[in-house]
């Protein structure tokens, strides 16, 4: 800890040297009856109106002689602001100044007054742009850390909603709040997460995505941490005993631990009829199987295992492929790569250009390729079905995991046919079953089999019949409603 110099001029000189006399560093010295008062703030992150009204103007109304003798205490006790702190550590100055605070130092005092004067540098609460909202609250997280905490706090008014704060990054000192329900969430998991965050030694954290890689215990292309902009989804997860990481300067909140079926759910599942939601989830499971295995099955039956399909269908496939100069594997890989390029271009392009790119890519190029005899019509249909089924999932990391394993299955089918595809499928299931996130099996509640937790897995029971939180989360309090054990 570095002590604060008792000379205002020396403190100002130290700060200017520290920031390289930066243009947005503003300092002012006010002489009150022979005593110098220094006011330091960053013009880029502070509100000048607050500084003028609450600090500088107040110093001109000091007339009592007794006040002159203890000017520091007078300022500390009479500045009208919601948050007034004190510090005797000079090393804290850089954090407070960059965070929009104003620092007041007084000659002869080795302590400083810190007052919050942050400028509004973030956008207001708006509707989520990455997660379409059909039904439910329309608000979403923003870049403001305080607002994000408030969006959670206004939904869960229980005092057991705790926010443990950690600062990550040597230079950015990014605030990360660990949100959980005390007495419900597993305290060991909370402590493990906190230890991981404390051990991160990096220059800076600019987004919650930077923290993901440190939290992953088992490496896999499928995500084990859910990222969301929606406060209602975060609150539902916290009520179930999960833990949320709210990172400063980003609207994306991390939820963990998660299991595979969590990526088949949406927050809107709790707002609609169970029968409709169960049907939608079954569609997602079916779409997952189709998008993973369809291209590989097509390659296997046209290259190795022709006897596995009826003769008429085999003849039809052979007729359509007549004249195509490329093998089936190359044909499928070519179309898959083109689709992935179009998808990435659609995501990265402005909204008014994305639709045009999709139409040109899907219709014009696809039809032209068939007419030119470069690819067969059945291959275009296979890739179209595969692509449409993948669009039902809105988590980008989950879609990337599907894409990676789809190519693995294609390679297995290319070299070994259906036998290779079955073997790769077994490896895929074994890999998923072996994943573990903070003691929670990734394939729970199916592996291991937990019947009571399957009431909100693929088939959703009515809410009045779901008495317990998911048992695989190792919650301290398992009872979700009713106050008694489920019968």
Q: What digits encode the pLDDT tens for the residues 193-203?
A: 999 999 999 99
pLDDT of 270: 86
Alpha-carbon span 234 to 225, nearest angstrom: 12
Count the alpha carbons within 13 Å of 249 in the hemisphere toward its beta carbon. 13
pLDDT of 57: 61
- Selection from 477, 471, 474 nearest residue 439 by Cα: 474
Residues 464-472: contacts with CB under 8 Å, at least 24 apart: 469/184, 469/239, 469/240, 469/241, 470/240, 470/241, 470/444, 470/445, 471/445, 472/259, 472/440, 472/441, 472/444, 472/445, 472/448
> Which percentage of the chain shows pLDDT scores above 90?
45
Q: Which whole number is the average pLDDT over 312-341? A: 82
Q: Which whole number is the average pLDDT over 67-76? A: 72
CA angle 150, 156, 162 (to 5 degrees): 75
User: Model pTM?
Assistant: 0.86
* pLDDT above 90 for 480: no
The confidence band for 486, taking pLDDT boundaries of 50, 70 and 90, is very low
Strand partners, 113: 86, 104
Tell me the C-alpha to C-alpha distance, in Å, between residue 417 and each of 141, 324, 408, 428.
47, 21, 13, 17
């Amino acid at each position: 800890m570095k002590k604060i110099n008792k000379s205002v001029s020396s403190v100002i000189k130290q700060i200017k040297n520290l920031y390289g006399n930066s243009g947005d560093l503003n300092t002012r010295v006010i002489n009150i009856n022979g005593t110098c008062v220094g006011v330091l703030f960053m013009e880029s992150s502070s509100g000048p109106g607050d500084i003028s009204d609450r600090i500088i103007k107040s110093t001109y109304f000091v007339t009592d002689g007794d006040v002159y003798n203890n000017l520091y205490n007078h300022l500390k006790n009479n500045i009208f602001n919601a948050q007034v702190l004190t510090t005797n550590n000079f090393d804290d100055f850089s954090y407070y100044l960059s965070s929009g605070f104003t620092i007041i130092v007084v000659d002869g005092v080795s302590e400083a007054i810190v007052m919050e004067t942050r400028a509004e540098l973030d956008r207001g609460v708006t509707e989520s742009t990455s997660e379409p909202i059909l039904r439910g609250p329309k608000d979403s997280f923003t870049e403001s850390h305080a607002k994000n905490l408030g969006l959670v706090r206004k939904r869960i008014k229980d005092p057991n909603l705790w926010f443990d704060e950690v600062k990550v990054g040597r230079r950015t000192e990014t605030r990360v709040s660990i949100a959980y329900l005390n007495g419900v969430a597993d305290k060991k998991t909370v402590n493990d997460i906190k230890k991981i965050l404390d051990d991160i030694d990096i220059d800076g954290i600019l987004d919650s995505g930077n923290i993901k890689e440190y939290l992953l215990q088992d490496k896999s292309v499928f995500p084990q941490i859910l990222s969301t902009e929606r406060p209602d989804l975060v609150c539902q997860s916290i009520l179930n005993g999960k833990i949320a990481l709210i990172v400063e300067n980003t609207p994306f909140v991390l939820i963990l631990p998660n299991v595979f079926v969590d990526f088949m759910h949406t927050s809107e599942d709790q707002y609609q009829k169970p029968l409709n939601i169960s049907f939608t989830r079954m569609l997602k499971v079916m779409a997952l199987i189709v998008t993973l295995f369809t291209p590989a099955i097509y390659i296997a039956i046209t290259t190795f295992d022709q006897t596995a399909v009826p003769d008429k269908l085999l003849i039809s496939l052979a007729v359509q492929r007549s004249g195509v100069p490329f093998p089936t594997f190359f044909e499928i890989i070519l179309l898959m790569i083109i689709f992935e390029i179009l998808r990435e271009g659609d995501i990265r392009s402005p909204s008014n250009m994305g639709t045009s790119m999709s139409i040109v890519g899907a219709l014009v190029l696809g039809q032209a390729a068939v007419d030119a005899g470069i690819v067969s019509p059945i291959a275009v249909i296979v890739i179209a079905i595969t692509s449409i089924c993948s669009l039902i999932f809105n988590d980008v990391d989950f879609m990337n995991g599907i894409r990676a394993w789809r190519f693995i299955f294609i390679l297995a089918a290319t070299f070994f046919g259906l036998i290779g595809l079955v073997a790769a499928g077994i490896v895929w299931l074994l890999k998923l079953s072996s994943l573990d996130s903070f003691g929670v099996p990734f394939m729970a509640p199916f592996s291991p089999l937990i019947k009571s937790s399957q009431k909100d897995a693929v088939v959703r029971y009515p809410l009045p019949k779901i008495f317990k939180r998911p048992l695989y989360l190792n919650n301290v309090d398992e009872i979700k409603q009713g106050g008694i054990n489920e019968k």
